[in-house]
A and B are shown apart, each in its own frame.
Chain A
Amino acid sequence: MIYIDKYAYFNRLKDVHPVEKFSLAIFTLFITVASNSIFIPAISFAIMSLIILLAARIPLFFYAKLLLLPLFFLFAGVLSVATNLNDQDMICSVLFTGHRFCVSASSLNEAVKIFTKSMGSISCLYFLVLTVPVTEIINILKKFKTPILFLELLVIVYKFIFIIFETMDRIYISQKSRMGYENYKLSYKSLSKLISSVFIISLKRYEDLYHALESRCFTGDFHFYQRKYNFSKINIFVIFMFDGILLAMSFFSRGQF
């Protein structure tokens, strides 16, 4: 989580205009989700992964680990879509706990579709979070006239993720240095203490933070500073070409693949 944020600030594409990266991710995401084929999501997954690895220079191992995260949930979901108890036009079947679980051609097709669609969409979102810092995403949302209350919530939540992580880390180290995690029983005990104190300490941190905000004449609304970026005509052209081709392909290939 913390590493995603670090890469967002220090990747190779950090000087590219965030709106360009944002639109590439979002348009590709929409096309991927809306497409009815296997082919389109596979292309967007491949292209997005290539951009993440080669252009943004995110380490392969790190990206693979990130992909593994949703894969667990995805497999469980896909498995349940692929199998059913109805044995019409089944390809194969498994007898398990007295029930016959069948995989049919159509359900298999459906499962593969969901799988590629999910992987395609995930790669789009990873591209967004790995190359655009949260502050810039907030700036873009502000441009789209997102309610200021929502943005402030986003800012505070973002800030507190770090405060809570840091607090947790410190407590964990101090517990570990005093043998808090030597065996299961102790681990449970220490963990329960850690969880409760993280919240108490974070609450205290919030109070201190609010004092600091107040002392600098805080009146209730945040202002976001925007760094100057330059639009690149080539980038915009490439983004439109890529998404245009993808869109055209998904129109022509409707139902074909």
Chain B
Amino acid sequence: MIELADVTFEYPDKTAAVKNLSLKIKAGEKIAILGGNGAGKSSLFLLLNGIHKTGSGKLYFKGQEVKYSKKDLLNLRKSTGIVFQDPETQIFSSSVYEEISFGLENLKYAENEIKARVDHALQLLEIADIKQKPTHLLSYGEKKKVSIAGILVMDPEILILDEPDACLDPVTVSNLIKLLDDLHQKGKTILMSTQDVNLAYSWAERIIVMKNGIILKDGLPSEIFSNLKVIKEASLELPVVYEIAVKLNIQSKFKQKPNIKKDDLIKYIKKNISP
């Protein structure tokens, strides 16, 4: 679907945000990107969206090299939607409706199509009641939802979320994850960066661990967390569910890929402890 080949990206002050990075993302994948602050996650996302231009190396979208012409960029940006980490940077318009319709207006959709899509997105995120509100008077959670709705209306094939769980309450996060799973079921490719190893482990089918602009490891959740060297180097922790399974030495009992489900673990432990 989208591919970075040996890409290096430097900021004007010559600090490299991404170094010799190669990454291939296939359609329909569910990927979590783990890595501390300054690991290069956000830069990677801006590269995938064509906002940052690859210094060296190439970006391919659907097998075609992205040449950074106007047409290429429009095509790329139409298909890859980024939900930025801080909704404040993304929300521009003064009313919620205007904000969500922003991308569609830019793509010159017909008015009734825009209205239908915006209403659908408002419904998906359960924020229809704030449709008329001015954006600068929303709460943080509402802003976040508006920023996600603003991307969903464009119906991108690849959905990129930069730490969508940051600063949100647990219920909102779990609703969001449900929504992402629904979208994944409908065939979307989803790429999400997070600091939460538990979330990454339970949600993702593939995990990419980054540090200092390079990919330390890329693989299944079970592969990533069985490699303690990588975990230590990237300043990560083991997910609770996985750690319990490992400490009890029962991880081989769970055949289901790609991760051990919390419910299965509880069931197994319940069955085997003597009351």
Contact = CB atoms under 8 A, between A and B. Distances in A.
Interface string A111-135: 0000000000000000000000111
Select the residue from A6, A159, A163 with max chain B CB neighbours within 10 A. Answer: A159
A103 B105 CA distance: 62
B274 interface: no
Contact of A208 (B86, B106, B136): B86
Contact of A215 (B77, B105, B107, B133): B77
A246 B134 CA distance: 35
Interface in B75-96: 77-78, 81-82, 84, 86, 88-90, 92-95
B223 to A, nearest CB: 32
Contacts of A211: 46, 51, 84, 89
Contacts of A219: 106
B92 A212 contact: yes
B97 interface: yes
Q: What size tier do the contact residues of chain B reach?
A: 20 to 34
A217 B151 CA distance: 11
B154 interface: yes
Contacts of B92: 159, 209, 212-213
B49 interface: yes
Interface string B58-75: 000000000000000010
A9 interface: yes
B132 interface: yes
Contacts of A135: 94-95, 98, 134
Contacts of B98: 135, 223-225
Contact of A9 (B74, B77, B137): B137
Interface in A143-160: 155, 158-159
Nearest to A162: B136
B134 A212 contact: no
Contacts of B105: 223
Q: Is the interface of B mostly helix, strand, loop or mixed?
A: helix
B81 A215 contact: yes
A227 interface: yes
Contacts of A158: 94
Given A135-B134, A217-B107, A212 B94 contact: no
Nearest to A133: B134
Interface residues of A, number: 28
Contacts of B93: 222, 225
Contacts of B133: 9
B70 to A, nearest CB: 9
Nearest to B153: A216
Interface in A214-246: 214-219, 222-225, 227
A227 B94 contact: no
B40 interface: no
B51 A9 contact: no
A15 B77 CA distance: 38
Contacts of A17: none
B154 A216 contact: yes
Nearest to A219: B106
A103 to B, nearest CB: 48
A223 B136 CA distance: 18
A104 to B, nearest CB: 51
A205 interface: yes
B106 A217 contact: yes
Given A208-B89, A209-B92, A216 B134 contact: no
| Most chain B beta carbons < 10 A, residue from A6, A222, A223 | A223
B201 interface: no
Given A133-B134, A225-B101, A215 B51 contact: yes
Nearest to A206: B89
Nearest to B90: A212
Interface of A: 5-6, 9, 133-135, 155, 158-159, 162-163, 205, 208-209, 211-219, 222-225, 227
* Top 7 closest pairs, chain A to chain B, by CB: A208-B89, A216-B103, A223-B105, A225-B98, A212-B90, A217-B106, A135-B94
Interface of B: 46, 49, 51, 74, 77-78, 81-82, 84, 86, 88-90, 92-95, 97-98, 101-103, 105-107, 132-134, 136-137, 150-151, 154
